[in-house]
């Protein structure tokens, strides 16, 4: 399926909305009574792709390689949430769902959009 500029914008907008929602949840987790490890992990998982998107919008450049540091940072945020679940109990396991969703959506986005950007 050919990638058009319009479909790329829709993918970026969808990713942006999801990342902002995840950051909002991370902020909620940080202000609540849960251990801060959960909010920090989810925030890290969502902030890395969000900062990359903002950088791409402000200074567009052709992406030639997978932005590994963004993926590693997002994955590290998921690991922080996993460690928190191990340490503070499995009743916090639901927090892993949005963390992993952020990572998966980022990977799908970078695979589908960044590597097939229109020339």
pLDDT tens-digit series, residues 43-80: 999 999 999 989 988 988 777 778 899 999 999 999 99
Q: Look at 97-101, 105-109, 110-114 and tell me which has the smallest mean pLDDT.
A: 110-114
Per-residue H/E/C for the chain: CCCCHHHHHHHHHHHHHHHHHHHHHHHHHHHCCCCHHHHHHHHHHHHHHHHHHHHHHHCCCCCCCCCHHHHHHHHHHHHHHHHHHHHHCHHHHHHHHHHHHHHHHHHHHHHHCHHHCCC
- The per-residue pLDDT of the chain, averaged, comes to 89
**110 is in which domain, residue-wise?**
5-116
pLDDT value at 117 more than 60? no
The predicted model gives 23-40 an average pLDDT of 95
Structural domain count, the chain? 1
Q: Look at 42-51, 83-92, 107-116 and tell me which has the smallest mean pLDDT.
A: 107-116
């Amino acid at each position: 399926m050919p990638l058009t500029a319009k479909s790329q914008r829709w993918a970026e907008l969808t990713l942006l909305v999801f990342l902002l929602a995840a950051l909002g949840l991370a902020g909620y987790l940080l202000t609540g009574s849960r251990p801060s490890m959960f909010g920090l992990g989810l925030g890290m998982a969502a902030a890395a792709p969000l900062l990359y998107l903002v950088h791409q919008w402000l200074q567009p450049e052709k992406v030639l390689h997978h932005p590994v540091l963004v993926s590693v940072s997002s994955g590290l945020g998921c690991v922080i949430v996993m460690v928190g679940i191990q340490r503070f109990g499995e009743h916090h396991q639901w927090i892993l769902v949005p963390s992993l969703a952020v990572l998966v959506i980022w990977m799908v986005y970078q695979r589908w959009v960044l590597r097939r950007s229109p020339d």
